[in-house]
Homo-oligomer: A and B are copies of this chain.
């Protein structure tokens, strides 16, 4: 085993350290967060920190970097109260990555990167039309993380849009690999996935069985 300690990575060049540390947490669900500002200009950003908080009520969180580094998405969520999360597929992966560029607030990032705004009735924030799986969140709480000035932003699930070609299984599961949802690792690596297995609910003293 190679052993690394904090004294070592604190001495590393900043981007080397960021690549290494960001790799460690494993594969992540890179998704596009869609928002709109008070002037009606939409914003789109790729985030890889979506995290399941609970199913009942259905709560989903993400980590927002310090305001100085990533101001637009958080400001728009605060102003509007609603935001969308859109899965990424290989057909528009380059456009999705390009949303990580630091565009000025007045730039419509859908237009800048070549993706399409989609509005559904009664919802005033944009979805990404090209995405096969997407959902609407309403802001519930912004929890400051004082250790490094980031935020845990928690939204409640309000609506889900899923392409007709992907039906939930008889037990409610979604085979995201069949929908082509990608995942990410580190700052800039994207992956497709292949199912190994689903396993039945585990109980002490019972063998693991495939579903």
Tell me whether A160 is interfacial, beta carbon within 8 Å: yes
Question: How many A residues are at the interface, by size bracket?
Answer: 35 or more
Residues of B within 8 A of A148 (CB): 53-54, 57, 59
CB < 8 Å: which of B58, B97, B145, B195 contacts A202? B97
Instruction: Decide if B183 touches A183 in the complex (CB within 8 Å).
Output: yes
- Give the number of copies in the complex: 2
Which A residues, 160 to 185, have Cβ-Cβ distances below 8 Å to chain B?
160-164, 167-169, 171-174, 176-177, 181-183, 185
Give Cα distance in the complex from A173 to B177, angstroms.
Answer: 24
Name the residue on B nearest A20 (C-beta): B172
Stretch touching chain B among A26-34, A35-43, A75-83: A26-34
- Which residues of A line the B interface, CB within 8 A? 1-6, 9-10, 12, 14-31, 48-61, 63, 87, 90, 93-95, 97-103, 107, 112, 120, 133, 135, 140-141, 143, 145-148, 150, 152, 154, 156-164, 167-169, 171-174, 176-177, 181-183, 185-204, 206, 208, 211
